[in-house]
Amino acid sequence: MSKRQKRNLVRILISLILFIAAVVLPAEGITRLLAFLIPYALTGYDILYSALRNIIRGQVFDENFLMSLATVGAFAIGEYPEAVAVMLFYQVGELFQDVAVGKSRKSIASLMDIRPESALVLRDGSEMELSPEEVEVGDTIIVKPGGRVPLDGLIIEGNTTINASVLTGESLPYDSGPGDRVMSGTVNLSGVIKVKVTSEYENSTVARILELVESAASKKARAERFITRFARYYTPCVVITAVLLALIPPLFFSQSLGDWLNRALIFLVVSCPCALVISVPLSFFGGIGGASREGILIKGANYLEALSKTEIVVFDKTGTLTEGSFSVAAVHPEVGTRAQLLELAATAECYSNHPIACSIVEAQGALIDKSRVGEITELSGLGVRASIDDRLVQVGNSRLMEQVGVKWQNCDEPGTIVHIAMDDEYLGHIVISDSIKPDAETAISALRRLGVSKIVMLTGDARKVGEAVGARLKTDETHCELLPDKKVAEVERLLNEKSKRGTLVFVGDGVNDAPVLARADVGIAMGALGSEAAIEAADIVLTDDRPSKIARAILLSRRTVRIVRQNIVFALSVKAAVLILGAMGAANIWLAVFADVGVTVLAIINSMRTLKKSSS
């Protein structure tokens, strides 16, 4: 609890003691009035001051004006205890609100702990401590055990265990060594490591996360915007209705002025919109904070609300449902053994940086004798031609085989087929595939359980490869060999198919899918903390590569929206009931206090559930 909250609590407790004393001690006339005025002034001076200041500024109708009008009116008709009670309980509600908002902000602010204070930089053989903003790309930084990685980079020396839970929401640490990428904000748990910096601080993972979270509160959900507009027109309507309620029955129907004035005051107290104005934004704020702790960064409450209505989910394939890295899936020799065919292909590809070539070299594993290799020619879009042991080796696709006049064998396995020939003899082929992510099937099953009506996969890969992945994952539609503009066209078609209130979500890796991410109702970039395109184009950023987090994000959004609706229905129902009773003369000021402050406190407590982890 902050110092300000503690001061308010002390003020409320002192006012409560004075209020109880005024009720218990016998007093009449001016003495009784003063006995209640003291706790009233102590409790409500800030409310009265705010109301007066806003009136001077021309901003008359707000909750401070309503509370001041109701309590001053209660004093005017001699209802002293009720006037103090209304202000006292109102301040209790404000304290609850303050504490609740503080907890929500603390959930968001806990991310600020990942902001590095300094970096230990190795320059000219000596160590120096600099602020992360002063470190340049290419510098080498030293991260000791227990320290937080200050900048994105590649490990160039040392082995360690990295804890990335603050970024990804996963508590299980992982081992890292030379050549592995490390993200700023993660924690080095064991060994000393040297890291070569690959991005400036302003473009680092930690800076992007903080920027995302800090800007999220500015984008309001439709429910929030409705409540803001509602409160703007609602308050003056309430005041006018209360005035009419107090004056019309006595003036035109010879009713008691005191009785109807009391009913008007009850109407004012009940009508205060605190429960809605406070609890709705608080629920969305808490939902965004709770999601961020699980590695789901949502840019605003409007996207959180839209995600809850997900009807169609469209996936990119490479890097989203598949690993995005090539590996040798099968080796089919026509001549010799598998090992001989793989070794020959790897030798021919040993100087190439093409991903397919690298996967063949990696699969071969053993040290390649490059002295055997003579002239090498890379053939764009076809493959490679190399002289090995004075023999001409051709490694590439079927078009290369046809070009050199070698009869090649077809392969039904999904993947990229690399054919190998020596001189004019066909030796066999190697199948290169992009493996499906371990939890991709789980992710799609979870989306179906959530009631997503259609799951679609879009890919630029060959039809045979894409359809094999789609069949394995059981997508409803699979569209292959698509250029970026064709992907946008497919999304446009699906947008026309969905229902008016439904949401189309596109999930991609955020780099080459930026146009589609921007066109979808909600764009989700996966594992894209290092990608500027992902941060800019996507509405939601997942901090790791697990597609199963999409279902989790939808669950969190639906839970948040459900809590918002509960608060709206509960608050309006109770207030409507007490308003009717008050107009009929069957409710007193104490019931009005519950309908205002009590409902507000209960709504706030309900809103706080968005901060808690839940499986539903």
Strand partners, 386: 376, 393
Q: Are residues 328 and 431 in the same domain?
A: yes
Residue 123 maps to a domain = no
The answer to which of 135-139, 208-212, 428-432 has the lowest mean pLDDT is 208-212
235-245 per-position pLDDT tens digit: 778 778 888 88
Which pLDDT score is estimated for 318? 78
Q: Which of 418, 435, 452 is the last residue of a domain?
A: 435
CB distance 90 to 596 below 8 Å: yes
How far apart CA 473 and CA 376 sit, in angstroms, is: 40
Is the pTM above the cut of 0.85? no
Q: What are 416's strand-pairing partners? A: 432
Q: Are residues 93 and 241 in the same domain?
A: yes
| Confidence check: pLDDT of 200 > 70 | yes
The pLDDT of residue 242:
81
- 428 and 451 together in one domain: no
In a domain, 156, yes or no: no
Q: Are 465 and 539 within one domain?
A: yes
- Asked whether residue 403 falls in the same domain as residue 470, the answer is no
More confident residue, 220 or 206: 206
Residue 538 has pLDDT above 90, yes or no: no
Q: Domain range spanning residue 527?
A: 296-321+437-543
Say yes or no to pLDDT of 224 above 70: no
Q: Is residue 159 part of a domain?
A: no
- Residues 260-283 have pLDDT tens digits of 888 888 787 777 766 676 777 778
- Parallel/antiparallel/unpaired status of strands 454-458 and 425-436: unpaired
Report the CATH number at residue 474.
3.40.50.1000
Q: Is 373 helix (H, G, I), strand (E, B) or coil?
A: strand
Element (H, E) at 62: none
Return the pLDDT at 447: 96
Residue range 307-335, pLDDT digits in tens: 999 999 999 887 788 887 778 889 999 99
Residues 227 and 101 placed together within one structural domain of the fold: yes
The residue among 245, 304, 298, 290 whose CA lies nearest residue 270 is 245
The verdict on 304 and 260 lying in the same domain is no
pLDDT at 531: 57
In a domain, 203, yes or no: no
pLDDT at 25 over 70: yes
Among 435, 456, 478, the domain-final residue is 435
At 304, give phi and psi (nearest 5°): -65, -45
Does residue 134 form part of some domain? no
Quote the number of domains for the chain. Answer: 3
Indicate whether 103 and 236 sit together in one domain. Answer: yes
Among the candidates 435, 468, 494, a domain finishes at 435
Residue 340 sits in a domain whose CATH number is: 3.40.1110.10
Catalytic residue among 316, 434, 461, 596: 316
Helices (H), 197-337: 205-216, 222-253, 257-271, 274-292, 301-307
| Shared domain check, 91 and 8 | yes
In the predicted model, is pLDDT for residue 378 greater than 70? yes
Check whether residue 233 and residue 378 sit in a common domain.
no
In the chain, the percentage of residues whose pLDDT exceeds 90 is 26
Q: Are residues 415 and 462 in the same domain?
A: no
Q: Answer yes or no: do 594 and 452 share one domain.
A: no
Residue 395 and residue 348: Cα distance in Å, rounded?
Answer: 7
| 125: in domain | no
Largest CA-CA distance found in the chain, in angstroms, rounded: 118
The DSSP result for 536-599, as a single string, is HH-SEEESSS-THHHHHHHHHHHHHHHHHHHHHHHHHHHHHHHHHHHHTT---HHHHHIIIIIH
- Answer yes or no: is 169 within a domain: no
Residue with tokens 């064991």: 190
pLDDT of residue 47: 87
Question: Would residue 176 count as lying in a domain?
Answer: no
Q: What is the mean pLDDT of residues 254-258?
A: 84
Please confirm, yes or no, whether 180 is among the known catalytic residues.
no
Q: Which of 150, 192, 190, 185 is nearest to 164 (CA)?
A: 185
